[in-house]
């Protein structure tokens, strides 16, 4: 097994993979554990993975699969407390901080409440800016399924935000993915 | 596409841990996995390397139906030295640096099928499956065993069990990334406790921990 080749690859891809996992989970500790677990497993399969056309996409697929199959009950019990300072950082430099905090926190909560494949599709599509084809490769499904996952995820968030009376976000165009 | 969603996702991504720090953990996990593989291979041969030193007297507490309760009756071990040796295969990790290896009673979590009665001070239950339970001093996922104290229920892995733990036979071995104590409960079942070597637990402490562990009804054999 080529340790050097694995290390070169892992070190180069680790930052992006961690950011992906953090966007997916919303929890840095879970992201750390998820990526660590995947990278250790990837090492044992490195001979095969290194011959793939897109090993990077395969690792994202491993992370996504690990995330979607991780014990749900554990995720439900894991309560992430977001410090005020972090919430302020989430708000960015906007004039109406209170409204933005409420909106973004509501959006964050709805992301966490989505079925995991839906949230993975949204992260790949909106955060990583991947094409439907790339999303499909990583999620291991058809492009049409990715479109459906994104659409249903967006609709679920929109519906929840409407229910929670956060109309400014609920009415935004992203919820109707037409791209 | 909406900027707010992208911003929220980007903000979440910004919380990602330091890759360099994680790389150390990944190397540690790889070393531990290699160690486990070596241990398994070694166990398959007649020359399996297991500790053979004598242990303190232990007594078995009769188990309730479908339960194995193994209680160590030896003298309470003295607190370990605060000077920690470096873990084999690398420096101590973030999980165990500076943690005193003094055993304290812990309340067995109701949900877990495998539970400790004593754990290193500062270590707490983090989660379990029917075949494993993890304790940690830094949180983290119960699915990742590196740097955690883990109880595993499954098939015996050793060919020799030179120790007596209660009325059961047991073995202790050290590999890269972990020290393990295994109690052979039957021909097909064993309870294995895996601990980070950097905790520097004494053999008596290891025996006490695994000797007071309980396998509850509902535990299912597996390897984690």
Neighbours of B33 (CB within 10 A): 18
Q: Is B8 exposed, middle or buried (0-12, 13-18, 19+ CB in 10 A)?
A: buried
Q: Is A152 exposed, middle or buried (0-12, 13-18, 19+ CB in 10 A)?
A: middle
- B109: DSSP letter: P
Residue B93 in this model has a pLDDT that exceeds 60: no
Q: How far is B7 from chain A (nearest CA, A)?
A: 8
pLDDT of res. B111: 85
pLDDT of res. A19: 94
Q: Coil, helix or strand for B158? A: coil
Any chain B CB within 8 A of the CB of A37?
yes
Residue with tokens 């064993």: B190
Rounded Cα–Cα distance for residues A168 and A106 (Å): 11
Neighbours of A176 (CB within 10 A): 11
Gap between the terminal Cα atoms of chain A: 43
Neighbours of B53 (CB within 10 A): 8
- B20: DSSP letter: H
Residue among A28, A127, A175 minimizing CB distance to B9: A127
Question: In this structure, are residues B113 and B128 in contact, taking their beta carbons and an 8 Å threshold?
Answer: yes
User: How would residue B119 be classed by pLDDT, with cut points 50, 70 and 90?
Assistant: very high
A174/B1 touch (CB, cutoff 8 Å), yes or no: yes
Q: Does this complex have an ipTM over 0.85?
A: no
Any chain B CB within 8 A of the CB of A22?
yes
Provide the whole-model pTM. 0.48
pLDDT of res. B17: 85
Residues B145-155 pLDDT 10s: 888 999 998 88
Residue among B18, B24, B26 with most chain A CBs within 10 A, to mutate: B26
Give how far Cα B167 sits from Cα of A86, B61, B197, Å: 54, 9, 26
Rounded Cα–Cα distance for residues A57 and B201 (Å): 42
Q: How far is A153 from chain B (nearest CA, A)?
A: 12
Neighbours of A167 (CB within 10 A): 11
Residues B181-211 pLDDT 10s: 999 888 888 999 999 988 888 888 898 899 8
Rounded Cα–Cα distance for residues A83 and A119 (Å): 23
B7/A26 touch (CB, cutoff 8 Å), yes or no: no
Rounded Cα–Cα distance for residues B115 and B214 (Å): 5
Nearest to residue A7, comparing CAs of A46, A33, A54, A35? A46
pLDDT of res. B152: 92
Give how far Cα B180 sits from Cα of A165, A172, B224, Å: 54, 55, 14
- B159: DSSP letter: S
A29/B9 touch (CB, cutoff 8 Å), yes or no: no
- Tokens representing B58 are 């232990």
* C-alpha B211, offset from chain centre: 13
Residue with tokens 């996995």: B33
What is the full per-residue pLDDT of chain A (179 aa) written as tens digits?
A: 467 788 889 989 999 999 999 999 888 878 888 898 889 889 888 988 988 888 999 999 999 988 887 654 344 434 445 555 555 555 555 445 555 566 677 788 888 888 889 999 999 998 899 999 999 999 999 999 999 999 998 888 888 777 765 555 555 545 444 44
H or E segment to which residue B151 belongs = strand B149-154
């Amino acid at each position: 097994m080529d340790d050097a080749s694995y290390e070169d690859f892992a070190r180069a891809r680790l930052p992006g993979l961690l950011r992906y996992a953090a966007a997916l989970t919303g929890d840095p500790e879970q992201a750390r554990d998820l990526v660590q677990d995947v990278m250790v497993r990837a090492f044992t399969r490195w001979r095969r993975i290194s011959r793939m056309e897109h090993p990077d996409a395969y690792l994202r697929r491993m992370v996504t699969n690990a995330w979607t199959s991780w014990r749900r009950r554990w995720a439900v019990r894991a309560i992430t407390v977001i410090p005020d300072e972090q919430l302020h950082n989430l708000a960015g430099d906007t004039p109406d901080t209170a409204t933005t905090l409420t909106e973004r926190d509501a959006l964050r909560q709805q992301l966490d409440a989505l079925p995991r494949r839906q949230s993975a599709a949204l992260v790949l599509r909106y955060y990583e800016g991947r094409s439907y084809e790339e999303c499909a490769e990583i999620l291991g499904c058809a492009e049409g399924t990715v479109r459906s996952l994104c659409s249903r995820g967006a609709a679920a968030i929109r519906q929840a935000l409407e229910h929670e009376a956060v109309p400014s976000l609920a009415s935004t165009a992203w919820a109707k993915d037409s791209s | 596409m909406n900027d707010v969603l992208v911003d929220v996702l980007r903000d979440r991504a910004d919380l990602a841990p330091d890759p360099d720090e994680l790389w150390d953990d990944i190397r540690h996990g790889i070393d531990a996995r290699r160690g486990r593989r070596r241990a398994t291979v070694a166990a398959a041969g007649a020359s399996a390397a297991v500790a053979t030193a004598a242990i303190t007297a232990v007594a078995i507490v009769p188990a309730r139906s479908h339960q194995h309760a193994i209680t160590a009756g030896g003298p309470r071990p003295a607190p370990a030295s605060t000077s920690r040796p470096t873990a084999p295969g690398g420096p101590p990790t973030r999980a165990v640096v500076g943690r005193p290896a003094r055993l304290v009673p812990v309340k067995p979590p109701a949900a877990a099928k495998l539970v400790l009665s004593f754990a290193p001070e500062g270590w707490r239950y983090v989660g379990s499956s029917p075949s494993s339970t993890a304790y940690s001093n830094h949180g983290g996922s119960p699915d990742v065993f590196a740097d955690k104290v883990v109880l595993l229920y499954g098939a015996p892995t050793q060919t020799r069990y030179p120790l007596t733990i209660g009325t059961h036979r047991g073995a202790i071995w050290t590999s890269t990334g972990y020290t393990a104590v295994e109690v052979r409960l039957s021909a097909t079942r064993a309870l294995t406790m895996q601990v980070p070597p950097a905790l520097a637990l004494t053999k008596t402490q290891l025996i006490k921990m695994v000797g007071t562990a309980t396998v509850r009804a509902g535990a299912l054999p597996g390897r984690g």
